[in-house]
A = this chain, B = another copy of it.
Amino acid sequence: MVDGKRVLQDLDELRALTADENGAQRVAWTPMWLKARAWFEEKLNELPVEHHYDAAGNRWVTLRGESEKALVLGSHLDSVPNGGWLDGCLGVIAALEVLRGFAKKYDGKPPFTVRVVDWADEEGARFGRSLFGSAAFAGNHTIAADRVRTDREGVTLEAALKNCGVEVERVGDAAAEQKNIAAYLELHIEQGPILERNKKTLGVVQGTKGVERWAITFHGQEAHSGSTPMEARRDALAACAKLALEIRPIAKKHPQSVATMGSVKTFPGIVTAVVGRCEATLDMRDLDAGVLAGMLHDAREASERFAKEEGCTVEWSKIWSIKPIPFYAELIAFCDAAVVETVGESEHLPSGPLHDAAEVAQIGIPTVMMFVQSLNGLSHNKAEDTKREHVEQAAEAFGRLAEKTMAWIGQAG
């Protein structure tokens, strides 16, 4: 039903149009993103579909079926700055190819409605609010926080959205699109090294890991690097360095847990002063809510112990968190079958990165994701890559998953 070569051809076209020597530049709410979306709209001309943008800027393409009950396939066209050629757009383009297949197979009128969604601003690269469009769809929009967000140049999120025809006050109206959705499927690159390490082409995603994301500040005493004896120091960096190392054994207690200190800032941050204040971020993830809570507890306790040892104090401030979101058991089984039929074997793994699928699953819509192997586990930069034959196989397997899901919607009906 699906032509993997056409998926590759579309991906190459989009890359030629929206990437430069540093990688993909489809940052949401920028002209290059609008250009990508205009290109996508042209692809729809040949198809018997309706399409529109919802109140949050998500694009919905609808192939009407005999029933209004809908199978939704989607991902996002936006990228990080200097991004890769597959992250997000693979899922949208493969979804379009599957819709094409259904249109052809059923001569324009499948038994159930098929929809493709291109979520707005999955990455949050410009304003720091990821999953913007899918969160609005799921009723998890955060208007108060979003209204005051600004980019590096001081442009407000509100102004940037308005420029793209989206009113920040109305984004919650995107929830109207929830109506009649029977299932949601998303294909994505893994963005990690597990499939490659285990020599698997395609993976079945068990769910998205829960995330605890915190800002941690150690307060010590700024002091002169030349005149302050070692034993008289209250070095905030030392306390933070201990925590940077301690989060690793905490995460390694559980096979799928991860814990990352991604940012450290030192104040005053000059070569001649003992660090008086050290600000760090911590991001911890696991598919099991209990394990995740335990990691958070252990890290917090360790930070307090280290602060005390160094004559410092420590403050924790939550940046953001999300619960683990398991995907739908029957769809996981279909995904496994589709993968095995296509490449002979499958691998089940959780998703560490968040995806729009998590927002969709959160509101009870049966959801599953399929992963295709990433080379060297890289993403969010131009070195991101996947073997071209794997992209073709992924599109084919995704088509099989969509057909199985369509059949299931009929039975479940």
Contacts and interface: CB of A to CB of B under 8 A. Distances in A.
A228 B192 contact: yes
Given A238-B245, A245-B242, A283-B225, A213 B262 contact: no
A412 interface: no
A274 B245 contact: no
A182 interface: no
A232 B274 contact: no
A271 interface: yes
Contacts of A228: 192-193, 258, 352, 377
- Interface residues of A, dominant DSSP: mixed
Contacts of A363: none
Interface stretch (A44-52, A161-169, A324-332, A378-386): A378-386
29 contacts: A191-B224, A192-B227, A193-B228, A193-B229, A209-B226, A223-B377, A224-B352, A225-B260, A225-B283, A226-B352, A227-B352, A228-B377, A229-B256, A230-B251, A230-B252, A237-B244, A237-B261, A238-B244, A238-B245, A262-B271, A263-B266, A264-B265, A264-B266, A264-B275, A265-B269, A270-B281, A271-B281, A271-B282, A273-B380
Contact of A264 (B191, B259, B264, B354): B264
Contacts of A270: 262-263, 281
B271 A258 contact: no
Contacts of A176: none
A248 interface: yes
Contacts of A226: 191-192, 209, 211, 258, 283, 285, 351-354
A238 B242 contact: no
B377 A232 contact: yes
A222 interface: yes
Nearest to A223: B377
Contact of A224 (B251, B265, B282, B380): B380
Interface string A253-296: 00011111111111011111111001001110100000000000
Contacts of A274: 260, 262
Query: Among the interface residues A272, A283, A380, which one has the most CB atoms of the partner chain B within 10 A?
Result: A272
A143 interface: no
Interface in A349-405: 351-354, 377-381
Nearest to A278: B264
Contacts of A260: 225, 271-274
Interface string A199-232: 0000000000101010000000011111111111
A-B pairs, 3 with minimum CB distance? A192-B227, A226-B352, A225-B260
B252 A262 contact: no
A118 interface: no
Contacts of A266: 262-265
Contacts of A261: 237, 275
Contacts of A256: 229
Nearest to A209: B226
A244 B239 CA distance: 10
A258 B268 CA distance: 18
Given A244-B241, A275-B261, A192 B269 contact: no
Nearest to A249: B230
A122 interface: no
A190 interface: yes
Query: Among the interface residues A225, A241, A245, A380, which one has the most CB atoms of the partner chain B within 10 A?
Result: A225
Contacts of A285: 225-226
A230 to B, nearest CB: 5
A194 interface: yes
A407 interface: no
